Amino acid sequence: MTNYPEFTSPILSELPDKGTISCSSPSNIALVKYWGKRPVQLPENASISFTLDACKTITSLHYKKHDKVSENFDFDLIFEGKHKLDFKPKIQSFFSRIETYLPFLKQYHFTIETSNTFPHSSGIASSASGMSAIAYCLMQLEKMINPAMSEVECIQKASFLARLGSGSACRSIQGPITVWGKHADIQDSSDAFAIKFPDKVHQNFEDYQDTILLIDKGEKQVSSTVGHDLMHGHPFAAKRFEQASGNIIKLKEILISGDLNSFIEVVESEALTLHAMMMTSLPYFILMKPNTLSVINKVWEYRKKTGSKLCFTLDAGANVHLLYPNIEKDQILEFITNELVVYCQNGQYICDKIGLGAKLL
Ligand code: DP6
């Protein structure tokens, strides 16, 4: 029995013998954050994100059919040219979660060859881009096996599978703005997969920029699994989930109206709340670094001085994502190079913007 029988699929045609499927899938940055989940990989609240463009994983899935079905999953993982044994357990558990939905998995040997366009251990989460890329490749194989599958079904199932690899990965399959998690005010939203934000987005958000300041490239202090777990029994959890739900309603209106001042308020409040949740959990964590706070203060100063619509958001780490409209790009890049680069580790930052999601190469 599965929770989602609509995503199980019979094997309708002859399995292809061997071949390679290559795709790219981007990272994404949440505006309303997913923080807190229940089994299996279901979010406690709806989240909404910008899909990125430049920060992505490029994956080739080489498949070769076995003569008979093997007992275990049979795959190799090559990351940036090298066999990576330490990444295998994650893929192993991903495969066991999705096996019911892709019954052909044990009939193949897979070599998964993958690399990222962003520096490894830059503190940029590679699970969203990495897992969505594998899910997307696997769906291309499934499409060969079940040719009747429509493009819409295929995209939806890719997001569904990606979610089982890493929650936020389900928001990377499509772009430019996606919503994951059932919410009464978002038509067709679901806990099982992400959808494209369904309403017409104001042109203020066209080509929205995200410059990622790499403040601290160290190993993650808290894995996302541990982090999400901290929300169980958290004294403020129920209120937080309620707040997130309210912020989805606010952000929906903002994305339609183009009200950038309200956008700043919701996005920065979400970022600080995410960190507040970690500071007030047991055990507690401070994931910002002194330079994170310096950047935040500089952003506030700059906004006050210039009337700019620049704002920040944070992931579960010290790096800062600077979000701003495309029309302000030149001035803000000047501000970054003149005043913010000093706070970046080795002066490193990545210029990205909103993008369209996974694609076949
Ligand atoms: C802070 O998607 O990495 O980036 O489902 O355990 O893989 P798992 O967690 P993950 O959590 C991301 C948390 C976040 C906020 C967000 O992206 O919404």
For 264, the 3-state DSSP assignment is helix
Minimum-distance ligand 1 atom for the alpha carbon of 127:
3
Q: Any residues with Cβ below 6 Å from ligand 1, and which?
A: 30, 33-35, 41, 47, 125, 127, 166-168, 224-225, 228, 274, 315-316
Q: What is the pLDDT of residue 122?
A: 67
> Cα separation of 165 and 134, whole Å?
9
Identify which of 28, 31, 34, 321 to mutate to test ligand 1's pocket (most ligand atoms within 8 A of the CB): 34
Ligand 1 centroid, distance to 160 Cα (angstroms): 15
Residue owning the nearest CA to atom 7 of ligand 1:
166
Q: What is the pLDDT of residue 349?
A: 96
Rg (Cα) of the chain, in Å, rounded? 20
Residue owning the nearest CA to atom 3 of ligand 1:
224
Ligand 1 centroid, distance to 27 Cα (angstroms): 11
> Cα separation of 324 and 327, whole Å?
8
Residue owning the nearest CA to atom 6 of ligand 1:
225
Minimum-distance ligand 1 atom for the alpha carbon of 47:
18
Ligand 1 centroid, distance to 167 Cα (angstroms): 6
Positive/negative CA dihedral, 224, 226, 231, 234? negative
Ligand 1 centroid, distance to 46 Cα (angstroms): 12
DSSP type of residue 337: I
Identify which of 159, 224, 232 to mutate to test ligand 1's pocket (most ligand atoms within 8 A of the CB): 224
Ligand 1 centroid, distance to 17 Cα (angstroms): 36
- The residue written with tokens 């507690």 in the block is 284
Minimum-distance ligand 1 atom for the alpha carbon of 166:
7
Ligand 1 centroid, distance to 280 Cα (angstroms): 18
Ligand 1 centroid, distance to 224 Cα (angstroms): 6
Minimum-distance ligand 1 atom for the alpha carbon of 167:
5
Ligand 1 centroid, distance to 221 Cα (angstroms): 14
For 187, the 3-state DSSP assignment is coil
Minimum-distance ligand 1 atom for the alpha carbon of 274:
1
Backbone dihedral region for residue 224 (phi beyond 0: left; psi -120 to 50: alpha; all else: beta):
alpha
Which residues have a Cβ under 8 Å from the Cβ of 255 and sit 6 or more positions away? Answer: 177, 197, 199, 201, 202, 205
Ligand 1 centroid, distance to 125 Cα (angstroms): 9
Distances (CA, A) of 114 to 24, 58, 124: 10, 6, 16
Ligand 1 centroid, distance to 66 Cα (angstroms): 35
Q: Digits of tens for pLDDT over the chain (361 positions)?
A: 457 989 998 777 789 999 999 999 999 999 999 999 999 999 999 999 999 999 999 999 999 999 888 899 999 999 999 998 888 999 999 999 999 999 999 999 999 999 999 877 666 768 999 999 999 999 999 999 999 899 999 999 999 999 999 999 999 999 999 999 999 999 999 999 999 999 999 999 999 999 999 999 776 778 888 999 999 999 999 999 999 999 999 999 999 999 999 999 999 999 999 999 999 999 999 999 999 999 999 999 999 999 999 999 999 999 999 999 999 999 999 999 999 999 999 999 999 999 999 999 9
Written in H, E and C, the secondary structure of 112-178 is EEEEECCCCCCCCCCHHHHHHHHHHHHHHHHHHHCCCCCHHHHHHHHHHHHHHHCHHHHHCCECCEE
The answer to whether 187 touches 198, Cβ cutoff 8 Å, is: yes
Q: What is the pLDDT of residue 1?
A: 45
Beta bridge partners of 196: 178
Residue owning the nearest CA to atom 12 of ligand 1:
168
Q: What is the pLDDT of residue 219?
A: 67
| pTM over 0.85, yes/no | yes
